[in-house]
Amino acid sequence: MLQFNVKRIMSLLLAAFLALTVSPVVHASDVSAQNAQDTICEYIEALDNNDWDKIITLSPDCDYQENVSFYYSEENAENDVGFHTITSAKLVTAIELDNKDLYDYTNAGYYFDTYNALKLYLVGVDMLANKESKYFYNGVNFFLTTLGQENGVWKVVLFSQAPATVIESAMAISAPISNDGSYMNSADIEKALKIIRSRYEGLILGSEGSVIETNIASNAQLAEEKGLDVNNSYNLFDTPDTTASTDDHARPSTIAVYMTSTRKVKDVEFYDYCKGVLPNEWYSTWNEESLKAGAQAVKFVGWYRVYNAKYPGKGYDVKDSDADQVYKAGSEVSSCTSAINAVGGIGMENSDHEIFYPAYGRGVSGEAGEQYSGKLSQYGSQYLAKQESYTYDEILDYYYSFSGVSTDAITTFSY
């Protein structure tokens, strides 16, 4: 989450003044930034023209085969999947953020290790779609856009849905400037925030404000996640349809996963997704409290991505690879499933009562890792559980509280 410190405020104020205009003035020291902005302009123009060759050229080389398969699929075109549904796209604003903020919104280490340089922008695009969905609606859509330098050329590495908190933080400092030099219409911003916030409640709104689809776990799904007997009517009655604590977090029913082996998208039941991820991200023989902390991290990476899709342009939320979390259907392990059940119905949110991206990484065996870093160490979770007798919630607090994702202690909610 964006922090309101002096450095961040000055960065965003400067970014607002450097927002894209039709004919921006570029000084020698701004050449790198301007080249990156040019890439954004070209990308949106290519989208407006459905110029898939250009989109592929402006994307990373490692995505070439996937992009060719997706953009030239007649089936995807006929079904209005991802960018195929867009009939018009006009750049409204592009505000540069501190690229270190990327750590608060994704597994940033993967991208910093892959590219020579990175730039992060909040991008607003006025869109028209053949078919509105959770990925696109008619009006100004906001995206967290990451550009990476590949062989000296800026490429669009990520074009993810922007969380409401990013937009609200930018608005609190300086309203985005449109590409004609004027300030954006506040009604467009309010409309975008309403649609995004409703998505967090599991309600997918169209541009006119009506519900076009939902993604809310059923009573049976919530009971199953807790390891309860779904055939027991008491268990079902005792499990609410939506969250109870803040009334703005609905546990998803499904998550859209790109299966890299088949290059197909599969809607996976959310509980099944967690069961298919945890054994592939944590050692199933580790301490129960480490596994429970891992279950929460895995669950909320997925939950966050259902709220803020990482790949809206291709119509899915996550990949099944280490680009996100490794998911393998049918890889369930009993110790991991027990950990998932033990924290079933227990939510994790930051001190602003927002779902956040709980980054995690390997860490170093035998070490706890950095406290309040905003990134959980997998080896560290085992160390804290086994050597320091930390409970799972103390492990989560150790890494995520008082960090870039939570200005104060993280909290829990029930669902």
CA distances from 221 to 42, 166, 200, 270 (A): 44, 31, 18, 9
Decide if 375 contacts 269 (C-beta within 8 A): no
On whether the pTM is more than 0.85, the answer is yes
DSSP letters along 331-359, please? ---HHHHHHHHHTTTEEEE-TTS-----E
Tokens of 91: 């750049």
Average pLDDT over residues 105-126: 95
Q: How far apart (Å, rounded) are the C-alpha atoms in residues 1 and 202? A: 21
DSSP letters along 149-171, please? EETTEEEEEEEEEPPHHHHHHHH
Q: How far apart (Å, rounded) are the C-alpha atoms in residues 354 and 333? A: 30
What is the per-residue pLDDT across 152-167, written as a single tens digit (0 to 9) for each? 999 999 999 999 999 9
Residue 130 is classified by DSSP as: S
Decide if 369 contacts 281 (C-beta within 8 A): no
Average pLDDT over residues 380-384: 98
Average pLDDT over residues 276-294: 98
Give the torsion sign (CA, 160, 314, 225, 238).
Answer: positive
How much is the pLDDT for 304?
A: 98
Beta bridge partners of 264: 259
Residues 6+ apart with CB under 8 A from 355: 200, 249, 300, 303, 304, 307, 347, 348, 349
Q: Within 49-163, where are the H helices?
A: 52-57, 64-71, 74-78, 108-114
Q: What is the CATH number of domain 6-211?
A: 3.10.450.50
Q: Rounded mean pLDDT of the chain?
A: 89
How much is the pLDDT for 239?
A: 53
What is the per-residue pLDDT across 192-211, written as a single tens digit (0 to 9) for each? 999 999 999 999 999 999 99
Q: How far apart (Å, rounded) are the C-alpha atoms in residues 195 and 198? A: 5
Per-residue confidence band for 288, with pLDDT thresholds at 50, 70 and 90? very high
Residue 2 has pLDDT above 90, yes or no: no
Residues present in the chain in total: 415
Q: How far apart (Å, rounded) are the C-alpha atoms in residues 276 and 290? A: 17
What is the per-residue pLDDT across 321-370, written as a single tens digit (0 to 9) for each? 999 999 999 999 999 999 999 999 999 999 999 999 999 999 999 999 99
Average pLDDT over residues 67-83: 97
How much is the pLDDT for 102?
A: 95
How much is the pLDDT for 247?
A: 59
Domain(s) labelled CATH 3.10.450.50 in the chain stretch across: 6-211
What is the per-residue pLDDT across 231-270, written as a single tens digit (0 to 9) for each? 875 665 555 544 444 558 999 999 999 999 999 999 999 9
